[in-house]
């Protein structure tokens, strides 16, 4: 169910997700559900008819395409799933037809929520709703009824399989309690072992154990799994994964499944992405699907521009610091217009995807798509900046007589250029150099008098001494580089330890958080005394010193 069978249906879904307003997408979702109920597997349907039934628009593309009923049903399920994921949650009171929550379906059909999640992969389409002030997944009653009618045998089998007797539940809990006490294995490992012995699915075993822990917190078999991870734990998981620690190791350390760890990583990654500011200048052409290819095409006369760049030479009298300014030719007005429209269009597309991004349910491919759009926009912005940096130098030289330091003026002017690139409205038809020159000179008119006033106010009479004094300030880049090298060395060294030894050292040294754990806290975490924690810590440190002397003599 993950791939469209027909390119036309995939393109239709992409267009509606990107360009149709949420209210329009909601209407199309209802129309697609109605069409799905009419599709007969043995018949075929013209694509233009399908598109008209969903969007109320008959396209000219794919005039000869005919979709077999079974394949059309498959693609309609995916179409509705894509639309549903792209829309913000809707209050259940605003939906015209009856809706069922995930828990309600689970209770009515006597199946687990995991089973319903598997049904979603087979065509049960849900919507994001707000019920009782909480975001959750909802299903239209008509959609559920159609799915049950089409999958009656599967539903009955799942219902029978999910009915555990009280004796079976007691047996599962008894085995899990003994394994957790004796082996210290994770919930996932114990669920798999019990599932093999009792011929049940691991999901059923895990659900039974977690349900017991929620209802009996004082007798919980895995008390640290009964609640959600804290924000600090999520940040630790994300930071550890960025440093190269595997998902399997993190899952064992925090007592979670691999899927849970992946969800946490995506959630933190999405939160960081959404925290970054994203501004753009809107243009009506962004909402026209027919214009997309022209907007994303290479800029006019791109080959000639690249040829000019290869032929450029640095003037002999140019200072070495300005050599980079002569590596980029100037842009024509037509090229500027194209690049500014392209940059803002990429930001606009990224903004639309960010609006539909829910960190708690973020998918890696959605985050990657947003990041790629922003990276492409940044690359276009970088080209616009580098092509106009000579303008900054030219204006700074004209104001050099008013200031003591030309390089400070150039640096200040570059900041004005960066802001001008972000704020320039390409739709007004002006050349960017006109707008940027005005912005740079306006900034100089304010900054140069302010700088002169500060110098006059804090004049000491010993300026020559200060200018010739050695610069003993620390190099921030060297400090960061040294820290990164040290982190790499520590991680290499820890690879020679056993998993439990590595975990103790990380907790004791606070490598995964901002604070170190005491010996008593480590002992409680692993189930031994404070003195035993001290002995283990001392032994492990001696082991690390021996390894460092034998294998990494160049560090000593």
- The full set of domain ranges for the chain reads 1-87, 284-458, 478-555
Q: Do domains 284-458 and 478-555 have the same CATH topology?
A: no
Residues 346, 377: contact at Cβ < 8 Å?
A: yes
Residue 46 pLDDT grade (very low, low, confident, very high; cuts 50, 70, 90): very high
- Domain 284-458 falls in which CATH fold? 1.20.120
Answer yes or no: is pLDDT of 370 > 90.
yes
Indicate the length of the chain as a whole number.
556
Token pair listed for 369:
């798509």
Q: What pLDDT score does 420 carry? A: 92
Q: Taking a C-beta distance cutoff of 8 angstroms, is the pair 549, 556 a contact?
A: yes
| pLDDT at res. 373 | 94
Instruction: Write the CB contacts of 36 (distance below 8 Å, at least 6 apart in sequence).
Output: 73, 76, 77, 80, 146
- pLDDT score, position 423: 92
Say whether pLDDT at 128 is over 90: no
Largest CA distance in the chain: 95
Instruction: Report whether pLDDT(479) > 70.
Output: no
Q: Name residue 131's beta-bridge partners.
A: 134
Select the more confidently predicted residue: 474 or 29.
29
Residue 475 has pLDDT above 60, yes or no: no
Nearest to 48 by CA among 67, 33, 30, 27: 67
At a CB cut-off of 8 Å and minimum separation 6, what does 95 contact? 127, 129, 138, 140
Confidence band for 481, pLDDT divided at 50, 70 and 90: low
Radius of gyration, CA atoms only, the chain: 31
Write the pLDDT tens digit of every residue in 374-421: 999 999 999 999 899 888 888 888 887 766 677 888 888 888 899 999
Q: What's the rounded mean pLDDT across residues 358-386?
A: 91
Least-confidence region, from 118-122, 320-324, 474-478: 474-478
Q: Is the pLDDT reported for residue 553 higher than 60?
A: no
| pLDDT of 233 over the 90 cut | no
Read off the pLDDT band of 514 (50, 70, 90): low
CA distances from 256 to 225, 237, 244, 420, 470 (A): 7, 11, 18, 48, 55
Distance between CA atoms of residues 541 and 268, nearest Å: 33
C-alpha closest to that of 254 among 214, 209, 222, 208: 222
Percent of the chain with pLDDT over 70: 87
Provide the pLDDT for residue 367.
92
Question: Angle formed by the axes of helices 187-198 and 166-182, to 10°?
Answer: 130
Which whole-number Å values give the CA distances from 349 to 9, 164, 287, 384, in the listed order? Answer: 20, 49, 10, 20
Work out the burial of residue 116: count CB atoms within 10 Å of its CB; fewer than 13 is exposed, 13-18 middle, 19 or more buried: buried
Q: What pLDDT shows up at residue 298? A: 92
pLDDT at 70 over 80: yes
Q: How confident is the model at residue 457 (pLDDT cuts 50, 70, 90)?
A: low
Q: Picking from 16-25, 111-120, 236-245, 514-523, which range would have the lowest pLDDT averaged per residue?
A: 111-120
Instruction: Please report the pLDDT score of residue 341 as a whole number.
Output: 94
Beta carbons of 44 and 64 less than 8 angstroms apart: no
The pLDDT assigned to 477 comes to: 55
Q: Which residues pair with 202 in a beta bridge?
A: none
Residue 464 has pLDDT above 70, yes or no: no
Q: What is the mean pLDDT of the chain?
A: 81
Please give the pLDDT value at position 107: 75
User: Does residue 550 have a pLDDT over 80?
Assistant: no
Pairing of strands 127-131, 134-140: antiparallel
Q: Which of 289-293, 372-376, 508-512 has the highest mean pLDDT?
A: 372-376
Give the mean pLDDT of 70-78.
87
Least confident of 161-165, 178-182, 443-447, 495-499: 161-165
CA distance 516 to 508: 5
What pLDDT digit, counting tens, does each position of 259-290 carry?
888 889 999 999 999 988 889 999 999 988 88
Task: Calculate mean pLDDT across residues 535-555.
Answer: 76
Q: Which CATH architecture has domain 478-555?
A: Orthogonal Bundle (1.10)
**What whole-number distance in Å separates Cα of residue 283 and Cα of residue 348?**
9
* pLDDT average, residue stretch 516-540: 84
104-to-138, 139, 145, 549 alpha-carbon distances in Å: 9, 10, 14, 62
């Amino acid at each position: 169910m993950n791939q469209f069978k027909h390119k036309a249906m995939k393109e239709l879904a992409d267009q509606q997700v990107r360009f149709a307003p949420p209210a329009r997408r909601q209407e199309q979702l209802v129309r697609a559900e109605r069409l799905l109920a009419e599709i007969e597997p043995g018949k075929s349907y013209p694509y233009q008819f399908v598109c008209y039934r969903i969007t109320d628009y008959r396209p000219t593309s794919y005039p000869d395409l005919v979709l077999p009923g079974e394949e059309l049903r498959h693609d309609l399920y995916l179409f509705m799933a894509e639309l549903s994921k792209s829309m913000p949650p809707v209050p259940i009171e605003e939906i015209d037809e009856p809706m069922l929550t995930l828990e309600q379906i689970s209770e009515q059909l006597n199946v687990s929520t995991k089973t319903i999640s598997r049904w979603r992969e087979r065509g049960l389409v849900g919507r994001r709703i707000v019920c009782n002030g909480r975001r959750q997944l909802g299903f239209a009653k008509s959609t559920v009824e159609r799915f049950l009618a089409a999958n009656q045998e599967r539903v009955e089998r799942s219902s029978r399989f999910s009915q555990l007797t009280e004796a079976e539940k007691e047996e599962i809990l008894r085995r899990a309690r003994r394994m957790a006490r004796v082996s210290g294995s994770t919930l996932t490992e114990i669920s798999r072992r019990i599932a093999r012995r009792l011929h049940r699915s691991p999901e059923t075993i895990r659900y039974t154990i977690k349900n017991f822990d929620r209802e009996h917190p004082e007798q919980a078999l895995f008390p640290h799994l009964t609640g959600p991870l804290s924000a600090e734990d999520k940040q630790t998981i994300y930071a550890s994964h960025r440093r190269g620690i595997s998902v399997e190791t993190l899952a064992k350390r925090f007592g979670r499944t691999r899927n849970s760890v992946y969800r946490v990583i995506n959630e933190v990654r999405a939160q960081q992405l959404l925290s970054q500011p994203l501004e753009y200048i809107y243009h009506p052409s962004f909402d026209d699907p027919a214009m997309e290819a022209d907007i994303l095409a290479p800029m006019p006369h791109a080959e000639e521009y690249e040829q000019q760049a290869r032929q450029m030479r640095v003037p002999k009298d140019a200072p070495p610091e300005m050599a980079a300014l002569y590596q980029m030719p100037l842009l024509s007005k037509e090229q500027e217009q194209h690049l500014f429209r392209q940059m803002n269009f990429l930001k606009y597309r990224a903004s639309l995807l960010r609006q539909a991004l829910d960190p708690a349910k973020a998918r890696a491919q959605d985050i990657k798509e947003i990041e790629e759009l922003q990276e492409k926009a940044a690359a276009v912005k970088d080209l616009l900046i580098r092509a106009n940096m000579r303008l900054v130098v030219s204006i700074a030289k004209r104001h050099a007589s008013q200031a003591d330091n030309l390089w400070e003026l150039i640096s200040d002017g570059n900041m004005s250029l960066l802001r001008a690139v972000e704020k320039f409205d390409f739709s007004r038809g002006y050349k960017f150099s006109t707008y940027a020159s005005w912005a740079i000179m306006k900034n100089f008119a304010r900054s140069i008098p302010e700088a002169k006033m500060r110098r006059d106010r804090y004049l000491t009479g010993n300026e020559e001494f200060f200018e010739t004094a050695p610069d003993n300030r620390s190099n921030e880049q060297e400090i960061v580089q040294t820290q990164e090298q040290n982190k790499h060395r520590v991680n290499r060294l820890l690879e020679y330890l056993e998993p439990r030894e590595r975990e103790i050292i990380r907790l004791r040294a606070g490598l995964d958080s901002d604070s170190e754990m005491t010996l008593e806290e480590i002992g409680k975490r692993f189930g031994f005394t404070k003195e035993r924690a001290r002995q283990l810590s001392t032994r492990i440190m001696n082991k690390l010193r021996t390894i460092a002397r034998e294998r990494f003599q160049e560090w000593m």
